[in-house]
Amino acid sequence: SSEVLEAIENVIQGVLQSLAQKKAPVLTVANRADWRNIEFKDSVGLQMIPGSTAKQIRSDCPQSARRFALMLKILSMIYKMVQSNTYATKRDIYYSDTLLFGSQSVVDQIINDISCMLKIPRRSLHVLSTTKGFVAGNLSYTEEDGTKVNCTCSATAVTVPSNVQGIKNLTSHAKFILIVEKDATFQRLLDDDFFNKVSPCIMITGRGIPDLNTRLLVRKLWDSFQIPIFTLMDADPHGVEIMCVYKYGSVSMSFEAHHLTVPSVKWLGLLPSDLKRLNICKDALIPFTKQDENKLASIQKRPYIACQPLWKKELEIMAASKLKAEIQVLTSVSSDYLSRVYLPNKLQFGGWL
C-alpha cells in the first residue's frame, strides 16, 4: 500500500510543480485502445509495448479539463481507501456522486486509466468490480475473510469472488476446467450434473464477455492446478471473440496481460466444422449480419490467428458459410445431447483445437 500511496503522491506533486511554475498541469496516460501499442507474444497474449504512445489529459483544454478533474477526484478517493484499508466497487464510486461522474462507464474508464498510468493493478488500488461470473464443480477455497466456500456440493453455482487475489487454500480433484460462454448453457450443464458424470471438473461462466474477476479466477485456477482448460462457445464471431479474451486478453486491459491471460486455453466447441459433421439442419442455423461479417474479418486479421492454423481454418469455414449457431442448436439432435454425447466424446477423443 505504501507503493500505491507514493505513486499517487508523485502524480499530485507533478500537478503542484506545474502550478508553481504557472503552467497548466497535465496527466499522461498510455493510449490503451490503440493496436499500435500492442504486441502479441505467444506466452502472454496481447501486451502493451514499453514506450507506447500516450495521450495527455490537460487541465487547460476544454475537451479534457473535466476528465482531468474527475481523475484527480478518483485519485483522492483511492488514496483515502488505501490509507484506511477499505474497499469500494466501481459502482460505489459512481453512486458517491452520480451528477459529477455522469455515467458508470466514465468511472470504469478512468479507473483503468489510473491503473495503467500508475502501473498498479486495479485490486491494489482497493477498487473491486462487481462480479457477474459463476463457478461450480470440484473446487473449494477460503475467501480473504476466512469464509470457506465449497463449489462441489452445491446444486446452484457460486458467484466468482470479488477479491480473487485474496482467496487461498484452493483444493480440487478436477481433471479439467470448462469455460462456458453463456449462463443458459452453464445452468443446463449444472442441471445435468455434468461436472460429476464425465470426470470431476470445474465449470466457469463469465455470462458473455467476462469481467475482470472471472478472468482473474481462470488464471488463478490455471496457476494453481495446471490442468487443461477448454472453452464452450457459440459458433459465431462473438463467441470466438470471447474465447480470445480468455486466452490472449483484450486490447484495453493489455497493460495487465500478465495477470489475466491463459494462452493454454483450448477451443472445444462449438466448432463451425462440427455443424457439418453432426448434420445440423441448415434451418437451425442463423444467417450472418453485417456486424458479424465485420467482427469476423477483424478477428481474422489479428496477430494471434496467424499462429493458430486450425483456428484459422474454422474461421474460414464460418466466413464461407455466412452462418452461425448457438450451442443450443445441439438440442435439435436431442435434449441432453450436449452433456450426454457431444462433450464426453470431444473430451475422450481429443476433439479440441
Active site residues: 95
Q: How far apart are CA 270 and CA 240, in angstroms?
A: 10
CA pair distance 269, 276, nearest whole angstrom: 13
What residues have CB less than 8 Å from 291, skipping those under 6 apart? Answer: none
C-alpha grid cell for residue 207? 455470462
Cell triple for 57:
489529459
Coil, strand or helix at 233: coil
End-to-end CA distance of the chain, in Å?
42
SS3 229: strand
d(CA 66, CA 57): 9
- The answer to whether the bond into 270 is cis (omega within 30° of 0) is yes
Which alpha helices (H) appear in the chain, and where do they start and end? 2-20, 65-84, 90-96, 98-101, 104-118, 183-191, 194-197, 212-225, 237-248, 257-260, 272-277, 290-300, 309-321, 337, 343-349
